[in-house]
Amino acid sequence: MLLTSVILVLREVLEAALLLSILLAMSHYLELKTRWIFMALAGGILGSMVYGAGIGIVSDAFDGMGQELLNAAMQFAIYGLLLLVGILLILNRRGERRYLPLLQWSMVLAVTLATLREGSEVYVYLMAFRHQADLLQSVLLGAFIGGGIGFSIGALFYYLLVGLPRKRRLIVALTLLALVAAGLCLQATQLLEQADWLPAQSPLWDSSAVLSENSVLGQLFYALLGYEATPTRNVVTAYLCGLLLMTALLSVAWAKSRSQP
């Protein structure tokens, strides 16, 4: 039970922590005040508790597939917000400080939705053991360890990013942002498959023997790259389309910013 708690909480915390570390590093890059992060985390934590408490009602919607569909919608929404964030970062890369309110609110909403989405999973998991005293201590300890590992990796990524030379920092951050965003498309597609909104397919391959999803490295690759050991054709297509779309639009924005005086 301890290991299960570590893996589950690590997966949920790591995704939000990596996204948060990238956006915080970009706030540092643009010399923005980081007060927005407290608003985003407060909204996300409160929202996750409300969502988790009402998960039964949500799950009953859409013929019992409400949770999967709502989570998929949130993943696609975060993807759109990260795309907007990336474009606005590029337009401000020379210190123009344009559209900063829109940029900050986009980051707030992205972190809020990510925290809500991942936090609700942790909340539901922990609440399932609240009346099982013999297991609760082990579950809470595992959650603490998993959360600690996740936040530690997020902090490491943040300091690695802010330690890069300024000219490279934005490019590296945008690359990571695109990979994380593509992973969100992958996860949303998996949820749509679970909800039978997309046809079930056989896995294209199984890389579990090479890298298990339940390992710490597997969880890191899942959060950062959208790693899936047994992906279907739909999942691979969604990942590549999400990555290519974001890369193309960010490249257009970069070219536009270079052409401006």
Q: What pLDDT is recorded for position 1?
A: 62
What does the pLDDT read at residue 97?
Answer: 75
Contact 195, 68 (CB under 8 A): yes
Taken in order 102, 104, 110, 116, is the CA torsion positive or negative? negative
- Going by C-beta distance under 8 Å and a sequence separation of 6 or more, which residues neighbour residue 59? 66, 67
Phi-psi region of 199 (alpha: psi -120 to 50; beta: other; left: phi over 0): beta
* CA pair distance 40, 16, nearest whole angstrom: 11
pLDDT at 260: 66
* Chain length of the chain: 261
Angle value at C-alpha 131, between 129 and 134, nearest 5 degrees: 75
pTM of the model: 0.93
| Cα–Cα distance for residue pair 261/250, rounded to 1 Å | 19
What are the domain boundaries of the chain?
A: 2-259
Side-chain-facing half-sphere of 225: CA atoms under 13 Å: 9
pLDDT of residue 261: 57
The CATH class given to the 2-259 domain equals mainly alpha
Q: Which amino acid is present at 235? A: V
| CA R_g for the chain | 19
| Residue 209: count of CB within 10 angstroms of its CB | 7
Write phi, then psi, for 88 (nearest 5 degrees): -65, -35
pLDDT value at position 153?
92
Tell me the pLDDT of the chain (261 aa) as tens digits.
667 888 888 888 998 999 999 999 999 998 888 889 999 999 999 999 999 999 999 999 998 999 999 999 999 999 999 999 999 999 988 777 778 899 999 999 999 999 999 999 999 999 988 888 778 888 888 889 999 999 999 999 999 999 999 889 999 999 999 999 999 999 999 999 999 999 989 999 999 989 988 887 888 888 888 888 999 999 999 999 999 999 999 999 999 887 765
End-to-end CA distance of the chain: 59
Residues ≥6 apart with Cβ < 8 Å to 20: 37, 111, 114, 154
Two structure tokens written together for 79: 């993807």
